[in-house]
Structure 1
Amino acid sequence: MATIFYARVSTADQNIEHQQAQAETAGFKIDRVVADHGVSGVSTLFAERPNGKRLFDILREGDTLLVRWVDRLGRNYSDVRDTIQEFMRRGVVVRTVINGLTFDGATKDPMQQAVRDALIGFLAATAQANAEAIKEAQRSGIAHAKAKDGETKYRGRKPSFTRDQFATVCNMLDLSTGVGEIAAATGLSRQTIYRIRDDRAAAEATLASWAA
């Protein structure tokens, strides 16, 4: 029984090695890493990604599919929900590094199935909602940065976080995760997380002004 770690990065500043290191720090033993580079979780379905579709051939019954968070599978509600359900149907256990969630299709108890499926649906919907919120923050941030650029060329201090870290912080904040846990997961200071929490548009504007 193998544990396959799947990572997806959509931009140059996102880092697969960071995702893997985070999983290993959390205590997961990884047998193999499969990754997709430069792939959007919004516009490209999981089964249409070069290595996403390979996992349906690689993973066997009893294996574990490990991801940092469900948004690595995608940011489309139906796609994420259907992907997790299909892996469970095949006897594959799906686990997340963040919050240590486990989705296992072995249970036959209808109440447990209902709770599990409701959680999958909620997390899939959250992944899509976060993507839409980040996109809106990007639009606001770019507009803000352009407005300031019209006034002055001063961009301020370079952001202390990457776009990948920004997205992770937003995801975990939306799940009411504690600031300490977010700091441990992202490597950011509590002060940085508080700044992002209190004004996401400003944080996005900082990234946009530095073309991050």
Structure 2
Amino acid sequence: MAKVGYVRVSSVQQNTDRQLDNVELDKVFTDKCSGGSTNRPALEQLIEYVRSGDTVVVHSIDRLARSIDDLRGMVKSWNNAGITVQFIKEGLVFNAEDTSPIAELMLNMLGSIAQFEKALINERQAEGIAKAKSKGIYTGRKANTAKHSDIKELLVQGMSIRKIAAELDCGVSTVQRVKKEMI
């Protein structure tokens, strides 16, 4: 019966120390990425690591997920596997045996607030980028012209979009964008 911590900060510069400070844990998994990101290696490792009887300890609901569906899915999946989930900041504990209706309500409300907060962040970011673009300040990331040349060459040779993306380790959308520029 292990007590396993999960810590997430949104950027590499942020400090993880305060999240589970003064909590006795057997193991801690830490991600340094956005909560909206689906690529969270430490969370994936934690999911593989925990077993029935373990407790997953998270500082706050918004550290685990910014989507209500993801949050509820993880908590339910862990509870069904006999794993308890504890949120320190909110003082909530979820397990298969005795999760109260009030705790369920709090999970749904706080999870919805986290999702709403993420949507507001995205909206403000998009507004800021649009304003910067209109002033000519923000132009986005520079294109990898060497990779674009390779993509064009493989497209001319007749290779499929998916094969090019796999071979050059880039997104399918990147290959599609380069193809569109060629027309």
Q: Which position in structure 2 is the counterpart of 1:9? A: 9
Count of residues in correspondence between the two structures: 137
Task: Please give the TM-score of this superposition, normalised by the length of structure 2.
Answer: 0.62
Q: 1:18 to 1:98 in 2, by over 3 A?
A: same
> What residue number does 2:98 align with?
107
- The Cα offsets for residues 124-160 of structure 1, whole Å up to 9 and x where unpaired, read as 21110111223344456778999xxx9xxxxxxxxxx
Residue segments in structure 2 that go unaligned for 5+ positions in a row? 138-183
* Alignment deviations for residues 80-123 of structure 1 (CA, whole Å, 9 cap, x no partner): 11011111111111111213221122128xxx3x4433332222
TM (normalized to structure 1)? Answer: 0.55
Match of 1:94 in 2: 85
In 2, Cα distance between the equivalents of 1:55 and 1:86?
13
User: Which residue number corresponds to residue 103 of structure 2?
Assistant: 116
Q: Structure 1 counterpart of 2:115, which letter? A: Q
Matches within 5 A, 1:35-184: 35-38=30-33, 40-44=34-38, 48-107=39-98, 112=100, 114-138=101-125
Per the TM alignment, residue 68 of structure 1 is displaced from its structure 2 partner at its CA by: 1.0
Q: Which entry has the higher C-alpha Rg, 1 or 2?
A: 2
Secondary structure of 2:41's aligned partner: coil
Where do 5+ consecutive residues of structure 1 fail to align?
151-212
Corresponding letter in the other structure for 1:6: Y
Following superposition, the deviation at residue 2 of structure 1 comes to 1.4
Amino acid at match of 1:129: F
Q: Percent same amino acid among aligned pairs?
A: 34
Q: Distance in 2 between matches of 1:127 and 1:99?
A: 13
